[in-house]
């Protein structure tokens, strides 16, 4: 580029850009088709719909498979898949291989549903265990497919696959949860996340705040304060269950009082709040959990607690060991870091 005096592209730059765009611009021709699931699976079994070599292996964990099947049974919108019409009359699966293979596995009886959050009564079910009306509805549910014409070249098909699978930013659990469990409780979590003292004590970047990291931390405080001993290993599932349980009815006054009391206590007795140091621009989740929940549990036992030695152990090797991210999703590790703070506060408090 040869910018003009104002630092902007010149007319020649625009002409060159136009030529490059025209040279590399693809006119992709396609049709939109709605295929019933049983038709998709039958064609896949007969190799009329096939997976090309550039596709990744069948790597979806069972949790993804079961959630996908649950979404279909619930009638939720399913993202479009991309197929390509080949010269031999078959359709190449450009994007959607994981979904097609999951459908085939489920209808073949090789996948049993588990970990479902909305249709818990179906946990343990194979396809043949579904009531017959639901089996028929599943088979005839139509999925929308973008079918690229056979003039679409192999490099372009691979480019479409790469862009479909890398261009998006995956939604964080906290973002999904806000929509899934919308209601009074999630509005309450949002309200606590806007608490000025919390925002001061818990540095979060603007980017992460937009992705609802503040609400994630608040929800962890509430859930672990009440049920940390029930946690095993799956944080998202644990928080989802807590949000669902409290979706419309919860002890608002108690939760708010404990949250605000904890923030006041941390501000008074922890020099850097929940951060590692005064210059920190982020708050490690495990550190927040340890200090916030441990403090809350201590205050439940002794509301007038006044610790005398926080500065002596907050930077100790033992505390740092308990608040590293290693095994952060372990139930025993979660309990250890929470109870470490709780016990140190109770042991030192006047």
Q: What is the 3-state secondary structure (H, E, C) of 256-304?
A: HHHHHHHHHHHHHHCCCCCCCCCCCCCCCHHHHHHHHHHHHHHHHHCCC
CB 145 within 8 A of CB 35: yes
Kindly report the pTM of this predicted structure.
0.59
Give the other-Cβ count within 10 Å of 119's Cβ: 14
Side by side, the strands of the sheet bearing 30-36 are: 30-36, 142-148, 81-85, 91-95, 49-50
Encode burial over 334-349: b for 16+ CB neighbours within 10 A, e otherwise.
Answer: beebbbbbbebbbebb
**Consecutive H or E run containing 235:** helix 235-245
- Enumerate residue ranges in the chain where pLDDT < 70: 1-7, 24-27, 53-57, 161-171, 179, 325-328, 349-350
Bridge partners (DSSP) listed for residue 34: 144
In tens, the pLDDT along 159-170 reads 776 666 555 556
In tens, the pLDDT along 53-101 reads 666 567 788 999 999 999 999 999 898 999 988 989 999 998 888 999 9
Give the other-Cβ count within 10 Å of 87's Cβ: 7
Q: Which residue has the tokens 């031999």?
A: 88
Residue 329 per-residue DSSP state: T
- What sign results for the dihedral spanned by CA atoms 308, 314, 316, 321? positive
**Consecutive H or E run containing 167:** none
């Amino acid at each position: 580029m040869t910018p003009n005096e104002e630092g902007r592209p010149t007319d020649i730059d625009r002409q060159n850009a136009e030529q490059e765009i025209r040279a590399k611009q693809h006119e992709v021709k396609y049709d939109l088709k709605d295929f019933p699931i049983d038709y998709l699976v039958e064609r896949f079994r007969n190799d009329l719909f096939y997976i090309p070599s550039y596709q990744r292996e069948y790597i979806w964990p069972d949790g993804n498979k079961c959630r996908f099947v649950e979404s279909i049974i619930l009638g939720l919108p399913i993202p479009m898949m991309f197929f390509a019409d080949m010269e031999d009359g078959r359709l190449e699966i450009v994007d959607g291989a994981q979904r097609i293979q999951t459908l085939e596995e489920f209808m073949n009886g090789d996948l049993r549903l588990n970990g479902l959050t909305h249709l818990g009564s179906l946990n343990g079910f194979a396809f043949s265990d579904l009531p017959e009306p639901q089996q028929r509805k599943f088979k005839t549910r139509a999925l929308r497919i973008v079918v690229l014409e056979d003039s679409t070249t192999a490099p372009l098909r691979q480019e479409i696959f790469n862009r479909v699978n890398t261009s998006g930013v995956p939604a964080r659990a906290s973002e999904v949860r806000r929509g899934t469990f919308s209601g009074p409780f999630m509005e309450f979590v949002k309200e606590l996340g806007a608490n000025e003292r919390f925002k001061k004590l818990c540095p979060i970047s603007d980017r992460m705040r937009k992705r609802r990291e503040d609400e994630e931390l608040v929800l962890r405080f509430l859930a672990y304060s009440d049920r940390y001993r029930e946690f095993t290993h799956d944080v998202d599932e644990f928080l989802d269950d807590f949000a669902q349980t409290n979706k419309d009815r919860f002890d608002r006054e108690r939760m708010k009082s404990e949250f605000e009391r904890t923030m006041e206590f941390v501000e008074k007795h922890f020099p850097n709040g929940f951060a590692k140091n005064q210059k920190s621009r982020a708050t490690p989740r495990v550190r927040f959990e340890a200090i916030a929940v441990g403090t809350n549990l201590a205050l439940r036992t002794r509301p007038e607690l006044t610790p005398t030695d926080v500065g002596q152990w907050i930077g100790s090797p033992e505390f740092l060991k308990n608040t590293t991210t290693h095994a952060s999703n372990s139930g025993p590790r979660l309990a250890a870091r929470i109870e470490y703070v709780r016990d140190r506060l109770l042991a030192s408090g006047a």
